[in-house]
């Protein structure tokens, strides 16, 4: 992860937005975006990794993130990464493929979410989800 004034702002926003959330294993949710951000190499992808679930899973909107100082390039990535439930999942993934920064963040997201060692119990639902993510990785890397 790189540290700039903007990435530090994104870290604080992500922490605050996800502070009462846990992942499927009961761990604090914030570990997930921080894990992704650690893999990023520039300001745009680091901010996007930190904020990738904020608009989708919290009350903070993309418009509010814009008002907080996140520029058009970061917001374009976040728009692509925010899945509208009305859009079929694989169509959403194909749209991400149009932006290299979004692809970089989404691949890290998919790989982390596919790591079954994070799970306390690997059930059929987890296996189906992992298979869906494998297909998404294939789409993004072909």
Q: What is the pLDDT of residues 10-26, one digit of tens each?
A: 999 999 999 999 988 88
Domain containing 43 equals 5-141
- Pick the residue with more confidence: 74 or 126? 74
Could you give the number of structural domains in the chain?
A: 1
Contacts of 87 (CB under 8 A, 6+ apart): 95
**Taking 90 as the threshold, does the pLDDT of residue 141 lie above it?**
yes
Here the CATH number for the domain that contains residue 42 is: 1.10.3210.10
Q: Which residues are marked as active site? A: 56-57
Q: What is the pLDDT of residues 59-114, one digit of tens each?
A: 999 999 999 999 999 999 999 999 999 999 999 999 999 999 999 999 999 999 98
Rg of the chain in Å (alpha carbons): 15
Retrieve residue 28's tokens.
């604090």
């Amino acid at each position: 992860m790189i540290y700039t004034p903007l990435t530090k702002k994104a870290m604080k926003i992500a922490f605050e937005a996800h502070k009462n959330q846990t992942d499927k294993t009961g761990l604090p949710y914030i570990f997930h975006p921080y894990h992704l951000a650690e893999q990023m190499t520039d300001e745009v992808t680091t901010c996007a990794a930190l904020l990738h679930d904020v608009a989708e899973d919290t009350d903070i909107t993309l418009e509010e993130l814009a008002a907080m100082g996140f520029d058009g390039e970061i917001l374009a990535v976040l728009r692509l990464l925010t899945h509208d439930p009305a859009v079929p999942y694989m169509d959403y993934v194909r749209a991400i493929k149009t932006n290299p920064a979004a692809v970089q963040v989404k691949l890290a997201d998919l790989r982390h979410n596919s790591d079954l060692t994070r799970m306390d119990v690997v059930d059929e639902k987890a296996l189906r989800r992992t298979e869906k993510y494998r297909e998404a990785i294939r789409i993004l890397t072909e």
